[in-house]
Structure formats: C-alpha cells, structure tokens
Amino acid sequence: MSKDQNEFLGISENGKDTCISCEVETKYAFDTSIEYRTHYVEGAGQLCEKCYNDITGKLQQSLANLSDDETS
C-alpha cells in the first residue's frame, strides 16, 4: 500500500494502527486480531490508552449525570 493509503486507513509508517482520536501510533500491528487488543472499539477502531480512558471516563460521567437526573 502507498503511504497515502496507509494514512487514510490509520496505519503508521511502521505498520502499526494509529489512534482514531489523536492519531498517535499504537502498539498493535494493523493485522492484529481485535481479540488480542485492548482499547479497541468495534465499529470505530483502535484507541490509544489515554484516549480510551478519557472517552470512557466522559461516558461514565454522562451516564452518572443521567442517573442523577432521573432520581431527582
């Protein structure tokens, strides 16, 4: 694949997936099965640990706020 194709597919020059949020290179080769990955979101792609924690933290906070609103 060409460099442009790799960038479009989220693959670094080293053949690793890049984070779909911040584009940092992750530790996973592009052909590593999702069964062996952490921080992978089906239907979206690979996240780095920091972005995964940030996003899931925000989701948890939003859910907590919704629960608080429902009990009020």
Question: What per-residue confidence (pLDDT) applies to 29?
Answer: 95
Question: What per-residue confidence (pLDDT) applies to 67?
Answer: 81
- 3-state secondary structure (DSSP) of residue 66: helix
Rounded to 5 degrees, what are φ and ψ at 24? -75, 150
Tell me which long-range contacts 52-58 makes (C-beta under 8 A, separation of at least 24).
55/21
Task: Let me know: does 26 contact 16? Beta carbons within 8 Å.
Answer: yes
User: In this structure, are strands 16-18 and 25-29 parallel, antiparallel, or unpaired?
Assistant: antiparallel
Question: What per-residue confidence (pLDDT) applies to 11?
Answer: 85
How far, in Å, CA of 40 to CA of 44, rounded? 8
Question: What per-residue confidence (pLDDT) applies to 7?
Answer: 66
Question: What per-residue confidence (pLDDT) applies to 23?
Answer: 94
Per-residue pLDDT of the chain (72 residues; tens, 9 = 90+): 676 666 666 889 899 999 999 999 999 999 999 999 999 999 999 999 999 999 999 999 999 998 877 766
